[in-house]
Amino acid sequence: ARVFNVPLYPAAFEPLGREFVCTAASLEFLRRHGLDLNRVVDCGVYYLNEAQEAQLRRLLNAGGGSGGTGVEPLGAADECELAAEAERISGLLSAAPDPSAEVRIPVRRIGCVSSLGVRVALAARLQRPADGCQLLLRCEPPVGGNLGQTGDGYCRAEAAAADTIQPDGCVLWVVRQRQDSTSAAVVGASDDVAETESFALRCVGFSRVFRALVNLRKPLVGHNCFLDLLAMYEYFYRPLPVDYEAWKAESFHRLTPLVWDTKHLLYEFRSACKFNSLPIGSLEEARDALTALDAAGGAGSAPTIRQLGLAESSATSGGGGGGGGGGGGSWAAAHRAGWDAFMAGEVFLRVSHRMLLLSLRPPATAASAVSSDSGGVEFVRRPSFAAYRRVLESRANCVNLIKAKQHCVKLDAPDPKSRRPPVLVLRRWDGGPIDLLWVRDLVARFGLAGLRSLNSGRQILIAMSSFAGARDLAKELADSEEFWLEPHSRLRHSLPLRLAIWMGTAGFTALALRSVVKIAKRVL
């Protein structure tokens, strides 16, 4: 297998500027494992989801063709200059004697921002012209004395000047004209469509790789990849829906028809083979343990997996630094995207092979599937990937959940039922109010919990995150002479429900007594 490291970075030009948020702890973790953040910013490949791509294409269509080599991120100084230039152009357009007359205004150079970057930013800032007119942004070669001419001689003072020549050598014009005009100033407006399309594809960037995988219906293998699936959906496809079930249905049927999570497979393998010593907390430790097990021999034609080295993306091949460069073996370290992906694939193959051996062995020898002995199973040739898929079919589309009561979610079926401890109710024997902060500090000793105050603080609902925590809390308060802890019951602990029951009982009793009195009067 060949390892690919492709640093990604969000397109930062206006109006698609997006936040790049990272906590201090995450930055320290990444630096500790050798991430070169400068390289990510300088050489990162762009990516857009479908909504962002549609917005970009609308702006490019509004701004004409490219005429430049690309859009660079805008700094604070460039932003200020662009705002001032947009205000200047708007003032000149509004000051024209005839609102419907054709006007051509050259755009001043904005730092080192390419003409396309200026056009995309101005298209978002300039107001739409009056009805019957259209506003175009055109790139043309500089032609001395023709700069600044209009149909009625307006803006003739905007003659050729050095500050109107863009970094790519062209002049960017803001053109206002009638929509039915066929003036030579806009003839050939589609000449640079190919360059515009090239730039749009560059902005879509790595999303094209993701879409190719989707179109080919390729299976995905990851490790603890629930958050990764959410991120891929939002970054490369569409904004995340509010409803979880809607995301799950569309994610499975449209994007990822087959997913294997090696974290879940390791849990299943350890349980099936009684391999309690298998380390599953770390992907690297699990991979090393399985590799050592297969290297011991007799694993029934265990797969041979070789890494062919690091294949850097074209955007990063010229970079250096400690962010996973192509030289030496520094890239082969945990928490590098390419190396983690390689280890997840290797763990998947080795676990699949062991599970295939387990399915072919007699029940008496199934428990020895983790030994170096092949249990009497020998393959004439190495098993195919299709054989591995068949043996793991029942475990497909099960994605591990971190720190949850249920081990996984099921992408192609309803999720497994979650089994949680019963909700507890804490009350005082004398019926008085309870200090919620005191309860919080008490419960924190036994694990995570949710607290809720009821009946003016006279009852505290406690939802413990684990059965062990609930059991330990019950033992702590079992001999208390001040507090009483019991499982929550709507019938016993809901004051409105109890009042409704009492009122219903009282009304029924009153009706019954009235009926008895009427019957007694008739008898007498």
In order, the DSSP letters of 264-325 are: HHHHHHHHHHT-TT---S-HHHHHHHHHHHHHTS-SSSPPP-----EEE-TTTTT--STTT-
Is beta strand 483-487 parallel, antiparallel or unpaired with respect to 424-428? antiparallel
Give the residue among 87, 93, 171 at the shortest CA–CA distance from 122: 87
Mean pLDDT of 263-270: 90
Tens-digit pLDDT profile for residues 234-261: 999 988 888 888 888 887 777 888 899 9
User: Sorting pLDDT into bands at 50, 70 and 90, what band is 116?
Assistant: low
Check whether 194 has a pLDDT greater than 60: no
Check whether 180 has a pLDDT greater than 60: no
Q: Does residue 124 or residue 410 have the better pLDDT?
A: 410
Q: What is the DSSP letter of 255?
A: I
pLDDT (0 to 100) of residue 128: 65
Asked which of 160-164, 211-215, 363-367 is least confident by mean pLDDT, the reply is 363-367
Amino acid at 303: P
User: Sorting pLDDT into bands at 50, 70 and 90, what band is 187?
Assistant: very low
Q: Report the percentage of the chain scoring pLDDT > 70.
A: 71
Length of the chain: 524
Alpha-carbon Rg for the chain in angstroms? 34
Tell me the C-alpha distance between 34 and 338, whole Å.
14
Tell me the C-alpha distance between 366 and 379, whole Å.
17
pLDDT (0 to 100) of residue 262: 93
CATH number for the domain formed by residue range(s) 424-493: 3.30.70.330
Domain map (residue ranges) of the chain: 70-190, 221-317+331-419, 424-493
pLDDT (0 to 100) of residue 244: 87
Give the residue among 452, 434, 442, 437 at the shortest CA–CA distance from 477: 442
Tens-digit pLDDT profile for residues 465-502: 778 888 889 888 888 888 888 887 766 666 666 677 77
262, 223 Cβ separation under 8 angstroms: yes
**pTM for this model (two decimals):** 0.60
Average pLDDT, rounded, for the chain: 74
pLDDT (0 to 100) of residue 167: 66
pLDDT (0 to 100) of residue 35: 82
3-state secondary structure of 514: helix
Tell me the C-alpha distance between 375 and 364, whole Å.
10
Backbone angles phi, psi at 264, to 5 degrees: -65, -40
Mean pLDDT of 210-218: 88
Q: Give the strand order in the sheet containing 459-464.
A: 449-454, 459-464, 424-428, 483-487
Check whether 313 has a pLDDT greater than 90: no
Asked which of 53-67, 109-123, 360-374, 424-438 is least confident by mean pLDDT, the reply is 360-374
- Residue tagged 């050259």 (tokens): 106
Tell me the C-alpha distance between 486 and 194, whole Å.
72
User: Sorting pLDDT into bands at 50, 70 and 90, what band is 332?
Assistant: low
* Ranges 102-116, 365-379, 491-505, most confident: 102-116
What sign does the CA torsion over 52, 4, 232, 207 have? Answer: positive
pLDDT (0 to 100) of residue 67: 38
pLDDT (0 to 100) of residue 222: 92
User: Sorting pLDDT into bands at 50, 70 and 90, what band is 263?
Assistant: very high
